[in-house]
Structure 1
Amino acid sequence: MKTSYRKVVIKIGSNVLTRDNGLPDLERIEHLVSQLSCLKKKGVEVIVISSGAVASGRSLIKVQEKQNTVAARQLLASIGQIKLINTYMRLFERHDLLCSQVLVTKEDFRDRMHYLNIKNCLEILLQHHVVPIVNENDVVSVTELMFTDNDELAGLVASMLNADALLILSNVDGIYDGDPKAAGTKVIERVEPGSNHLSSFITTSKSGFGRGGMVTKLSMAQKIAKLGIPVHIANGKKENIILDVFAGQAVHTQFLPEKITSGKKKWIAHSENSATGVVKLNEGAKQALISGKASSLLPVGIVNVQSEFQKGDIIKLVDEHDVLIGLGIAEYGSDKARERLGEKGQRPLVHYNYFYAVL
């Protein structure tokens, strides 16, 4: 490997694992496992985020068209997850490797304690040279409890484990500078930090059997790169793609990382859905926080405390137009924050070390 990556998270999408008819592509899965095993033999820690439970279920049972969509997904996932993990287990055993099943929901990441429980579980598996196969638990994850897709879950796991890289395998070569079907269109191979123009190149349509599209991949990749982790998007249908990406020999899109942030900030970055309070800031406080300098949120910059929260809670910081500026951990509760509203010389409500800028 040309890269010095020692811990990688690899997300394998539904479109990579399935054939055109929606059934599992066992030859493709076998080829991917062979590459993953090769990484393991080179001493690389590998965490796999794998879709495919619903597709595996589809190969075992026929669902009536009139069946409720959520119920059908639960049925197929419940049956299919067994087949999927057994397929992985059988294939990894051929390479004298163990894999494990880790099923999670968004609720499992709702607070710091649950977050650390998942982290500790994954770390003990890696310490024992086991390959964790992580997937969303579609049996209990419905509607608002669901991740946007497994791209979101992959980004969260990569941040949580402080991975050296995240590789997202899709059914396209990466992000293109135009319509992929148009003549002369090329893959954007390097995305520098702070590049915000890429969304104009991407269609909003979703493809194949996955929940997410390239828009969510772009958003997540930029977020993870901002946290200091390089992100690669590549075509999982290509032969030897995993090894070629890490050897620098595959055409794909790579998001270059910004400076590495702390583990606490990485957790905060993924905590928008579990934030309890909302605090409105004036323009001066907003500019200070998004300037890139080490600035904490002082009460003098607070316009309004819009909802209740306690010390240690994740809170949202919004500007005077209710646009989200960032997320942070409250140093004290909403009652004290209201008492100190607009006052100078008070200690920060959110310290810089525990603030993550969204803008």
Structure 2
Amino acid sequence: MDARETNPRAAIARAHRVVVKIGSSSLTGPDGRLSIGHLSALVNVIAERKKQGSEVVLVSSGAIAAGMVPLGLTARPKDLATAQAAASVGQGLLVARYAEEFAWHGIRVGQVLLTAEDTVRRHHYRNAQRAIERLLALGIVPIINENDAVATEEIRFGDNDRLAALVSHIVRADAMVLLTDVDGLYDGPPRRPGAKRIPVVNSFAEISDVEVTTKGSSVGTGGMVSKLESVRIATSTGIPVVLTLASNVSAALRGEDVGTWFSVSGKRMTRRRLWLAFAAKTRGRLIVDDGAARAVQGGLASLLPAGVTSVDGEFEANDPVEVVDLAGNVIARGLVAYGSDEIPALLGHNTSALKERHGDGYDRAIIHRDDLVVSRRPRKTK
């Protein structure tokens, strides 16, 4: 039997393009200071992988943590302005250290700072993709972080785990590695006696009853819930993931049995559909009846005016919106063909009646099926 079939981890050993994400807790010491030893060890592994012919994109937290000591802070700032100041000071220090360490290997780095807005707006999304692709073509290691110095609460990712998954799709990565301070996913809280590491997850149904925590470290923001959401985004759209300790990064990249391997559970999306499913900031909601909900969830039908019962929010034609069933579950996202002020007059009518009443152009779907992305896990609206 082919080794690729018996060992799914072999995929990461042969991956040409890999995204590696490391959290603040894995780059700092107990005192919260940036650990040059930890950073250098990571750089050595990435440099070796790059010399073997692979391309590596590094998503690195640590800017705020790096800025804490110069600003005399003893704990991660809780207010946005101080966090922005710490990020502004720390980001330069962090990238300077990376540049210095990679220089020992004859490798140059390039800094890319992103906000959620860069993945919300399609034009920004494409710019980010082109910039990263060009850096890779020039042999440069892109070092990506959220632009904490300017991000506001309304437009921030909240942590770099989700950012890493979106970046993985932007660059069409073959695999993603999430480095943290826990050796993978366990079948219960890792500190609980008898808790065991789960080596392979083939689907999220296998871990539906696993107890995880939202709490991250004192210098980071993402707990295991955040990491699993990142994994779900990646694996559900064609990218396998390994989650493990930062000290295991070399073994993880070789495909060894460390951490938890998450197998692909869905096909790779186009960039446009990924943007719509995970990155787009929706502008409003369309509430649909049970028949329309079933049709939309079947994945082959457009959303027609007859199936929409009401409209929530203000939006224009071609804005991304959520499609919500009568129970309040978000069942899909899509690009709406009409503005919110036009739709109320269309509700409950079939397209032929609308064309007869309003003329050409009003016989189109409210959301065409090509512009719909069905939610894999319907969730309640907030």
Distance in structure 2 (CA, Å) of the matches to 1:353 and 1:38: 43
2:182 to 172, 181, 187: 172
Aligned to 2:369: 352
Distance in structure 2 (CA, Å) of the matches to 1:59 and 1:308: 45
Aligned to 1:261: 269
Q: Report which of the two structures shows the higher radius of gyration computed on alpha carbons.
A: 2
Aligned length: 354
Q: Report SS of the residue matched to 1:91.
A: helix
Q: Report SS of the residue matched to 1:195.
A: helix
In structure 1, give the amino acid aligned to 2:368.
H
More moved, 79-88 vs 282-291: 282-291
Task: Give TM-score, length-normalised by structure 2.
Answer: 0.86
Q: What is the 5 A alignment of 1:68-83?
A: 69-83=79-93
In structure 1, the gaps of 5 or more residues are none
Q: Report SS of the residue matched to 1:244.
A: helix
Q: Deviations over 1:207-229 (max 9, x none)?
A: 23101111111122112211221
In structure 2, give the amino acid aligned to 1:324.
V
Percent identity between the aligned chains?
35
8 Å contact kept, 1:47–1:133 = yes
Aligned to 1:249: 256
8 Å contact kept, 2:27–2:62 = yes
Distance in structure 2 (CA, Å) of the matches to 1:92 and 1:145: 32
In structure 2, the gaps of 5 or more residues are 1-8, 352-362
In structure 1, give the amino acid aligned to 2:55.
E
More moved, 169-178 vs 222-231: 222-231
Aligned to 1:47: 57
Q: Deviations over 1:250-299 (max 9, x none)?
A: 32112222122221111112235x211311111122223233x4332222
1:18 to 25, 28, 39: 28
Q: Is it true that 1:2 corresponds to 2:10 in the alignment?
A: yes
Q: What is the 5 A alignment of 1:1-359?
A: 2-3=10-11, 4-63=14-73, 69-195=79-205, 197-198=207-208, 200-236=210-246, 238=247, 241-257=248-264, 258-272=266-280, 274-291=281-298, 293-345=299-351, 346-358=363-375, 359=378
Distance in structure 1 (CA, Å) of the matches to 2:136 and 2:209: 36
Distance in structure 1 (CA, Å) of the matches to 2:304 and 2:208: 35
In structure 2, give the amino acid aligned to 1:262.
T
Displacement after TM superposition at 1:12 (Å): 0.5
Task: Give TM-score, length-normalised by structure 1.
Answer: 0.91
8 Å contact kept, 1:271–1:314 = no
More moved, 179-188 vs 8-17: 179-188
Q: Report SS of the residue matched to 1:306.
A: strand
Q: Report SS of the residue matched to 2:205.
A: coil
Describe the shift of the 1:309–1:75 C-alpha distance in structure 2 as closer, same or farther (beyond 3 A): closer
Distance in structure 2 (CA, Å) of the matches to 1:330 and 1:216: 30
Q: Report SS of the residue matched to 1:56.
A: helix
8 Å contact kept, 1:105–1:141 = yes
Provide the aligned C-alpha RMSD in A: 2.3
More moved, 330-339 vs 47-56: 330-339
Describe the shift of the 1:68–1:155 C-alpha distance in structure 2 as closer, same or farther (beyond 3 A): closer
Distance in structure 2 (CA, Å) of the matches to 1:288 and 1:223: 24
Q: Deviations over 1:98-153 (max 9, x none)?
A: 10111122222231111111111111111111111111122112322321211121
More moved, 126-135 vs 204-213: 204-213
Displacement after TM superposition at 1:336 (Å): 4.8
More moved, 182-191 vs 206-215: 182-191
In structure 2, give the amino acid aligned to 1:350.
I
Distance in structure 1 (CA, Å) of the matches to 2:155 and 2:56: 27
